[in-house]
Copies of this chain bind each other. A is one copy, B any other.
Amino acid sequence: MSVTSHDVARLAGVSQATVSRALSDHPKVSPRTKHLVREAAAQLGYVPSEAGRSLSSGRSRRVGLLVTDLDNQFYAQLIPPAHRELERYGYQLMLHTESGEDAAIADRLIAGGLAGVILATATLDSATPARLHDRSVPFVYFNRTGSFVEADATVVDPVPGHEAAVEHIVAAGHRRVAAILGPENTSTGRAREAALRNALRRHGIHLPAHLVRRGGYDTETGDRAMTELLADARPTLVFAANDVVAIGALNALRRAGAVPARDVSIIGFDDLPPARWDIIQLSSIAYDLEAMMRETARLITARLEGSTDAFHSATFSTRYVDRSTVGVLPSAGG
């Protein structure tokens, strides 16, 4: 005879719904009630079945996180806060990557029986949002704007960080500035490019085509682009599309025997943990990625709990963090 949540509820003196919420560590259940329920469950040898929970509530407690590439340090960085925060709300994180055709991705997400999806991929032309919408699978955009299908979203405003960075580098004497930009079919790539060009323009600095490289958000792009820029254009400073790209650029500098800040200055974006290592000390444009993922998890769970109607968008500001990869030119202030 198997023990049910009804038995646990009776022993603990609470409702069956409270048993389920207490055992999934729901933040709205008090520590004392959680303790009572766990004691009762332990005493009876009760183990809740996730499949049973899913059937009784009509849907699963699983939220998908769709990323482009798990091997990329930026996407790897999203997993711990997403995992922690969803768990806090009693949901489990499911990882999904974009490999394969675009249409197949939405079908895989739907087939996975997910309650909802966090879309952390970058491409604007993806059909995934529309397909999820057609199938009534709730989703939230992480770090993406300008999509055709409306949904809750968390976004980064790259303007304040770029303005502060450009102010700093102009004061340090930099005028010959290059950029390794992100993919043109991403909202992040476009938004950062616009923010950079506008900030430079206000200081009378133009970003000519021969000082611009483009590519994916990976170290290879940064490595190749920096190697080309060193050979052709010799900028005094390079804005990298993100920190992963900046690390690739630093690798190219090292191989060329050049020293960051002294020979070429570099600024990243995202302020990932390696940027703070003493052996790297990358100047970067930072925002609170941890808080942003917390807010993303909150938005999707609020949507799943039906506690919200209107679409919400949360914007996270940026700031410039000056470390050791930006140098002062002899001409500065002279």
Q: Which of A37-88 contact B (CB under 8 A)?
A: 38, 47-51, 54-55, 60, 70-71, 76, 79-80, 83-84
A 151-167 contacts with B by CB, 8 A: none
Indicate if A113 sits at the interface (CB-CB under 8 A). Answer: yes
Range class of the A interface residue count? 35 or more
Report whether B113 and A51 are in contact in the complex, using a CB–CB cutoff of 8 Å: yes
Least Cβ distance of A151 to chain B in Å? 20
Give per-residue flags for A72-109: 1 if the beta carbon is below 8 A from chain B beta carbons, else 0: 00001001100110000000111101000000100100
Interchain CB contact (< 8 A) of A80 among B47, B71, B255, B280: B71
Q: Are A247 and B277 in contact (CB under 8 A)?
A: yes
Per-residue CB contact flags for chain A residues 239-266 toward chain B (1 = under 8 Å, else 0) read: 0000000010011101100000000000
Residue of B nearest to A53 (CB): B113
Of B38, B107, B274, the contact of A274 (CB 8 Å cutoff): B274
Least CB separation from A24: chain B residue? B111
With both chains docked as a complex, state the minimum distance between the C-beta of A290 and any C-beta of chain B, in angstroms: 10
The prevalent SS among residues of A at the interface is: helix
Oligomer copy total: 2
**A17 close to chain B: CB less than 8 A:** no
Given contacts A50-B111, A255-B278, A274-B274, contact A95 B93 (CB under 8 A): yes
Contact (Cβ within 8 A) B70 A60: no
Which residues of the partner chain B approach A55 to less than 8 Å between Cβ atoms? 51, 55
Q: How far is the CA of A49 from the CA of B137 in the complex (A)?
A: 13
Q: Is residue A205 within 8 Å, beta carbon to beta carbon, of the partner chain?
A: no
Complexed CA–CA distance, A279 and B226 (Å) = 14
For A94, list chain B residues within 8 Å (CB).
Answer: 92-94
Closest Cβ of chain B: how far from A128's Cβ, in Å? 14
Interface pairs (12), CB distance under 8 Å: A23-B111, A38-B104, A47-B107, A48-B111, A49-B111, A76-B80, A219-B277, A250-B278, A252-B278, A254-B278, A279-B279, A279-B280
New A-B contacts (8) at CB < 8 Å, excluding given A47-B135, A251-B278: A47-B111, A49-B111, A79-B95, A84-B97, A93-B95, A250-B277, A250-B279, A279-B279
